[in-house]
Structure 1
Amino acid sequence: MCIVAIAWQLFDELPLVLLSNRDEFLQRPTAPLHQWADKPIYAGRDKQSGGTWLGIHQEPYGDFYEQNGRWAAVLNFRDGVQASNDERSRGELVAEFLSSDLSPMAFARQIDLQGYAGFNLIIGDAKQALIVNNRGHAPTPLYAGLHVLSNGQPEDSWFKTERLRSRLRQEVLPLIAEDNSLEYWRDAAFNVLSDNTPAPADKLPDTGMAVEIEQTLSSVYIKPIAFGDTEKNVPTYGTRTQSILTLNQSPSPIHAEPIFRAQLQSREYQ
């Protein structure tokens, strides 16, 4: 069901730090992080529908890769409403934004909100980031700070979002403040993303699902579980991808404006 944390404009040379867990059914065909051949995108790929849950704009140019600072992530919205067959894949939203020339706000405003099942979409570039969903949350720019969201409204305080927020503040953000090189704090970030502590019964969200399911989905990291077919007790669902995305700012030798380079790394669990 996924969770995303975004440290936005907290560090001068690292304006974006995004951490993400993608939770999905284990049998859903997925390609790991790679440069797409048909679009200017660097991301993992949902081989069933063709979109992605998290990616950056990137395209080959000779022996190098060109980037424009665009990035995006999408999460489903858990409200008990089942997706219908005529709705488009939410992963298309990420791919379309990364391939677009529209500003984040202009792109968000032209989305056909009713054409998709429930989603939270976070899109941005080096200058602006915003969140929009099709459950009543209009396109809203992110303020400088730490934002953590999962499958409810952006302002919802779920056990998993608050636990991730707390651990990031205590264990990861101080390391970035000391040394913003990814190698310095990457292990701490993946460790925090691997927190499988479940929520106490009195802190479960009410999203229209059974209490047992809410409990199963209440941790930051979801260990492989038998979801939907508990009698066979064969794992069918869990956290499949953990990702770290950053935008690094460095002076340009040619232009007055600084250069922004994106880094995206993932750990895959099949």
Structure 2
Amino acid sequence: MCIVALAWQVLDGLPLCLISNRDEFYHRPSAQIDFWPNSQIIAGQDLQSGGTWLGVTKTGRWAIITNYRDAREQQQYATSRGHLLQQFLESDQLPLRFAQQLEQHQCDYAGFNLFIGDRRQAVYISNRGEPPQVLAAGVYTLSNGILSDDWVKTRHLRKRFTQEFLPLLQLEHTPEATIQQLAWDLLQDQRKVEIDQLPQTGIDTAFELLLSSTFIQSPNYGTRCSNLLRMSQEGWSWLEKTQYGAAQGEIRTINTIWSEKKPT
């Protein structure tokens, strides 16, 4: 997962609204969003290492991860970062408590940024210099640096998310098709960053430039799927748009209502 914009406790009736792209090598096997068997989890799944990149539960827990990009790091890690989301989603811990415990063994994982939350609290943690922090109401954008990094790539998405998308959601009687179309338009933005404004993450300039757009396309690597996730007072609305392969353009929709289990 390589870029996300979310509004937390900003919109009336929508405690969380999130859009994101998952970028990955095309050959890496994965499954689209679905209800996991014998579990509260709804998520896609990494079929190579297990775990997921974005997931929710029927009780209102949610989690999303991006990798922290530093090509200069050579260490290999045995544990997949995608399992962190599964651990949180299957637990009953408060988001902050989970993040504080994760901090004690965060060095077991390659670099990550992690948003976790429930219906009342949202927390961000990174194992590359950002301790757990409870999110205040607001808009957050994140790619493959830490949350406090000011990448032009995330600045572009934040501007359109706050100036175009969120105002549309606040209008009465906006057609659902209009909302979805604008979400996909934001996430399919292929605008590149000027070379002198690229972050320095240890990769060559040509690859850094390729990765500088919200939507990424190349022969071997790119945006695999886009997501529009909304938490209402009643439950989840999740749309996942396939962006590569034979099913390109297909949209899978999952709507849920909260289970009777009380949120943490």
Q: Normalising by structure 1, what TM-score? A: 0.85
Q: Which has the larger radius of gyration?
A: 1
Count of aligned pairs between the two proteins: 241
> Is it true that 1:185 corresponds to 2:159 in the alignment?
no
Of stretches 81-90 and 67-76 in structure 1, the one that deviates more from structure 2 is 81-90
Offset of residue 48 of structure 1: 0.4
Number of the residue aligned with 2:205: 211
Deviation, structure 1 residue 184: 4.5
Rounded Cα–Cα distance in structure 2 between residues aligned with 1:206 and 1:239: 21
Whole-angstrom distance in 2 between the partners of 1:83 and 1:48: 21
Distance 1:91 1:183, change over 3 A: same
Q: Deviations over 1:93-120 (max 9, x none)?
A: 1111111100100111111201100000
Report Cα offsets for 1:96-154 as digits up to 9, x if no partner: 11111001001111112011000000000111101001012000011111100111010
> Counterpart of 2:215?
221
**Does residue 1:164 correspond to 2:157, yes or no?**
yes
Q: Deviations over 1:211-269 (max 9, x none)?
A: 1111010000102x1xxxxxxxxx110000100111101xxxxxxxxxx4122210112
What residue number does 2:260 align with? Answer: none
* Structure 2 match to 1:232: none
C-alpha distance in 2, partners of 1:32/1:56?
Answer: 14
Deviation at 1:160, TM superposition (A): 1.1
Alignment match, 2:222: 238
How far, CA to CA, are the matches of 1:222 and 1:246 in structure 2?
24
State, as a whole percentage, how many aligned pairs show the same letter: 45
| Distance in 1 between residues matched to 2:97 and 2:176, nearest whole Å | 32
CA contact (8 A) 2:190 2:215 kept: yes
Tell me, in whole angstroms, the C-alpha distance in 2 between the residues paired with 1:135 and 1:40: 30
Paired letter, 1:159: V
Contact 2:125 2:133 in 1 (8 A): yes
CA distance in 2, matches of 1:155, 1:141: 14
Structure 1 residues not aligned, in runs of 5+ = 58-66, 226-234, 250-259
The match for 1:142 among 135, 145, 161 is 135
Matched, 1:125 2:118: yes
Secondary structure, counterpart of 1:138 in structure 2 = strand
Contact persistence 1:87–1:117 (CA under 8 A): no
- The CA deviation at 1:191 is 0.7
Structure 1 residues 46-195: aligned runs within 5 Å: 46-57=46-57, 67-82=58-73, 84-111=75-102, 112-179=105-172, 182-195=176-189
Deviation at 1:86, TM superposition (A): 3.7
Distance change (3 Å), C-alpha of 1:130 and 1:181: farther
In structure 2, stretches of 5+ residues that fail to align are: 245-264
Higher mean C-alpha deviation, range 124-133 or range 205-214: 205-214
**CA 1:28–1:83 in structure 2 vs 1: closer, same or farther (change >3 Å)?**
farther
Contact 2:54 2:64 (C-alpha < 8 Å) held by counterparts: yes
Q: 1:263 maps to what in 2? A: 237
Q: Distance in 2 between matches of 1:174 and 1:168?
A: 9
Q: What is the aligned-residue RMSD (CA, Å)?
A: 1.5
Tell me how far 1:186 sits from its aligned partner. 1.6
* Range with greater deviation from structure 2 (175-184 or 202-211): 175-184
TM-score normalised to structure 2 length: 0.87
* Deviations, residues 8-61 of structure 1 (Å, cap 9, x unaligned): 11112001001110000000001011111143211111000111000101xxxx
| Structure 2: distance between partners of 1:135 and 1:85 | 16
Structure 1 runs of 4+ aligned residues shifted over 6 Å read none
Q: Deviations over 1:164-208 (max 9, x none)?
A: 011112221110110477545121111101101010112101112
The 3-state SS of whatever aligns with 1:215 is helix
- Distance in 2 (CA, whole Å) between partners of 1:167 and 1:49 is 34
